Structure 1
Amino acid sequence: MGNGQEKQALGIGPVLEKFADVKRIAVLRGGGLGDLIFTYPALYALRDAYPDATVTLLGTPIHAAVVAATEGPVDDVELLPAARGVHDGPRNGERFDDDAEDLAALAAFFAAMRVREFDIALQMHGGGRFSNPFLRQIGARHTVGTRTPDAERLERNLDYIYYQNEPDRWLEVAGLAGAPAMIAPPLRARKEHRESIAGLRDHRYGSLVVVHPGATDPRRRWPASYFADAAAGVARAGAQVLIVGDHSEKALAQEVAEVAARQLVGESAVAPVAVRSVAVRSPAVRSVAGELEIGELAALLESATVMLASDSGPRHLAQALGTPTVGIYWVGNAFNAAPRGRALHRVHMSWVTRCPRCGADVTQVGWTAPHCGHDETLIEGIAVADVVQDVLDLTATSLLLRG
């Protein structure tokens, strides 16, 4: 555990004594969009426990974009240089390229961080083999974070156990810094981004369902044809469906939209609207992938009735914005990344534990075992009809809550 005096046990884990005279807090978190969202409950807890302190995120460009585009607990972002196990630079296949580490850039970063004189630095980036030595070099008065048995110790430490709900993990770390767990308020998209996406909403449809068919790891992706079937099913029930994704996912999103649209040919998801005696119809399903900046994506997700997605950053962002979600998970990812509540969030889990091609145990891949080299989806067995029913159920709940 830690070496601070235990004050109380509250929910997630022990809450130790607060540190004194805290004005500047740094939080180390690399990774992608979802990785940042997992830390937000802890960041809000730190903000609440140390209301006079600034919270600086040591993060990545996507993190900086999210912070700039939303109203949340982070005051500013310092961009991480490329560093093994903390922030990836260019890769050589699946191996981190040692040449990506610019030693001069790392030295300059650490020097700049030491000048800021952080009072607390928290490591919220994995088991600490690489991130704990990195954190110690910024020169904070106090250090807190997770560690595996082979990682350097910090002043206060939480044992890193791989299969744990990620937001809960970082709430435990915040607790070691004296910040009790709290119910985090939803993020809010900024007004200018809400105005920017206002034209995407077609109010002739009773609801808006946003679908994200992508995922960084191909094993976490529900097949595109399944997403298309689900999108068509939701559209038949009277929803407008927008498919989202980044630039790399444009082809995937377009495929989902086109297959769904073909299924809807000859069907009427919504009656035509007469405008100056001309019948006008907007497509019930279409892709906007690659068209939205992160702030616009946040505003769209905030305005959505429900979001449907595999385990992905946009799904986590939707949850943080307070939007009901239907998520499709491999069971191992569900332990770490699925929402805990079910009133506003539904989780469909695949219980596959072995690679469909070679039979390797995938429950340890990426943790205590190497990747077997196969990227077949692990969630193909989840039925479309069950997913659609949950989208429709949450649509009714969402519309009722929003009045």
Structure 2
Amino acid sequence: MKIGIFRALYLGDILCSIPAIRHLKYHYPDSCIYYIGLPHLRDFVMRFSFIDFYIDFPGCEGLPEQEVVESEVQRFIREGKEEEFDLLIQMHGNGTIVNDFLGQLEAKRLVGFSPETNLDPVDWFPYPESAHEVHRHFQLLKHIGIPAENFNEQLEYPIFVGECQDFEALKEVYGFSEYVVFHVGAKSELRRWPIQNFALLAKYLKKYNLKIVCTGTTAEYAHVKEFINLIGENCINLAGLTGYGSLGCIIRDAKLLVSNCTGVSHIAAALKTKSIIISLDGEPERWGPLNMDLHVTFNGLEPLSIESIFRRIDKFLQGS
């Protein structure tokens, strides 16, 4: 059985869909699962053992994630038809744009989310606006007939042996062992909590005598540097210096992650690292980590007491 999964989104979005994809493979162990996603995330997605193949998605009109080259789109459609998918699942979003587009691949069965309620109720599931992102995909699987037994909502983030060895070398070079991770960046500036507020948290943490390790992309290096300038010594800037494996190791071994609501918050959820997440997307109930014993999500769009975050820091670190 050849199954295609369409979800051409970013790292955090992918991690939130992993429990559903894993569950799908559990019930169809002999199937071949093809993930259709953004080209630059191929290496990340292929870390998951239950995903067999990856197909680069070239974009389509109306989706903001990448620039569209029409010749590449036509090649994608042509090659997608040749795959002859037995099942193609649209997990990208509510389907306003992509459902008709995916229909051009002529899968034997196309299913997924839909913004409408008048479509075939067997194949199309009205998009649940209020569900948590992890549960949303599980609801879709149940709707199309995948048994619910043994569903596990825990995220996962594979780390390989060689990456652990590289991480140990990185720690030796930069000289850190007991530390807290700060991730002050996010793709959109609108989802970045002011670094002055992050600096207040970092200064409060000094009483715990922990190093502060800053992560981020190369593009976020200057933003991270500005944050470090506010807090002074005892801080390490690793922005732009980590791959998927080393980033996972850094978060896995941290005493705590403090972050905007972005991909690293889901990595912490997958690796069961305690975290304090500041949500500026207006949907903390959708994107916040599910395990509230390990993770606390604060809605940064509402009045927020810095003392309440201090208390949560103390609860996490004094109990560790």
TM-score (normalizing by structure 1) = 0.71
The reply on whether 1:340 has 2:318 as its aligned counterpart is no
**1:104-183 mapped onto 2 (5 Å cutoff):** 104-149=71-116, 156-177=123-144, 178-180=146-148, 181-183=151-153
Separation (CA, whole Å) in 2 of partners of 1:87 and 1:111: 22
Aligned residue for 1:391? Answer: 313
**1:269-308 mapped onto 2 (5 Å cutoff):** 284-308=234-258
Larger radius of gyration: 1
- Secondary structure at the aligned position of 2:279 is classed as strand
Using the aligned pairs only, state the percent identity: 22
Separation (CA, whole Å) in 1 of partners of 2:118 and 2:195: 40
Cα pair 1:45 1:184 within 8 Å, conserved: no
Higher mean displacement: 116-125 or 148-157: 148-157
Separation (CA, whole Å) in 2 of partners of 1:135 and 1:42: 20
Please list the CA deviations of residues 119-153 of structure 1 after superposition, one character each: whole Å capped at 9, or x if unmatched: 21111111111111122222222222111128976
Separation (CA, whole Å) in 1 of partners of 2:153 and 2:111: 22
Could you say if the C-alpha distance between residues 351 and 185 of structure 1 is closer, same or farther in structure 2, counting changes exceeding 3 Å? closer
What amino acid is the match of 1:145? G
Aligned residue for 2:213? Answer: 242
Separation (CA, whole Å) in 1 of partners of 2:66 and 2:175: 46
Aligned residue for 1:217? Answer: 188
Aligned residue for 2:56? Answer: 79
After TM superposition, give the deviation of residue 36 of structure 1 in Å. Answer: 1.1
Aligned residue for 1:255? Answer: 226
Could you say if the C-alpha distance between residues 171 and 304 of structure 1 is closer, same or farther in structure 2, counting changes exceeding 3 Å? same
* Residue from 48, 65, 73 that aligns with 1:88: 65
Separation (CA, whole Å) in 2 of partners of 1:112 and 1:240: 50
Could you say if the C-alpha distance between residues 212 and 153 of structure 1 is closer, same or farther in structure 2, counting changes exceeding 3 Å? farther
Separation (CA, whole Å) in 1 of partners of 2:44 and 2:268: 12
Aligned residue for 2:31? Answer: 53
After TM superposition, give the deviation of residue 206 of structure 1 in Å. Answer: 6.9
Aligned residue for 1:270? Answer: none
Higher mean displacement: 128-137 or 185-194: 185-194
Higher mean displacement: 166-175 or 182-191: 182-191
Cα pair 1:143 1:155 within 8 Å, conserved: no
Separation (CA, whole Å) in 2 of partners of 1:307 and 1:300: 10
* Residue from 30, 33, 37 that aligns with 2:15: 37
Could you say if the C-alpha distance between residues 193 and 61 of structure 1 is closer, same or farther in structure 2, counting changes exceeding 3 Å? farther
Stretches of structure 1 lacking an aligned partner (at least 5 in a row): 1-22, 91-99, 262-282, 353-380
After TM superposition, give the deviation of residue 225 of structure 1 in Å. Answer: 1.1
Could you say if the C-alpha distance between residues 219 and 382 of structure 1 is closer, same or farther in structure 2, counting changes exceeding 3 Å? farther
Could you say if the C-alpha distance between residues 206 and 242 of structure 1 is closer, same or farther in structure 2, counting changes exceeding 3 Å? closer
* Residue from 155, 163, 166 that aligns with 1:196: 166
Separation (CA, whole Å) in 2 of partners of 1:152 and 1:86: 22
Separation (CA, whole Å) in 2 of partners of 1:307 and 1:105: 40
- Secondary structure at the aligned position of 2:4 is classed as strand
Cα pair 2:260 2:277 within 8 Å, conserved: yes
Number of positions where the alignment pairs a residue of Structure 1 with one of Structure 2: 316
Cα pair 2:15 2:156 within 8 Å, conserved: no
After TM superposition, give the deviation of residue 316 of structure 1 in Å. Answer: 1.5
Cα pair 1:31 1:87 within 8 Å, conserved: no
Separation (CA, whole Å) in 2 of partners of 1:76 and 1:297: 24
Separation (CA, whole Å) in 2 of partners of 1:316 and 1:293: 16
Computed over aligned residues only, the root mean square deviation of the Cα atoms, in angstroms, reads 2.6
Higher mean displacement: 123-132 or 381-390: 381-390
After TM superposition, give the deviation of residue 387 of structure 1 in Å. Answer: 2.2
After TM superposition, give the deviation of residue 350 of structure 1 in Å. Answer: 3.5
Separation (CA, whole Å) in 1 of partners of 2:216 and 2:84: 39
After TM superposition, give the deviation of residue 71 of structure 1 in Å. Answer: 4.0
Stretches of structure 2 lacking an aligned partner (at least 5 in a row): none
Identify, as 1 or 2, the structure richer in helix: 2
After TM superposition, give the deviation of residue 72 of structure 1 in Å. Answer: 4.8
Aligned residue for 1:19? Answer: none
**1:226-237 mapped onto 2 (5 Å cutoff):** 226-237=197-208
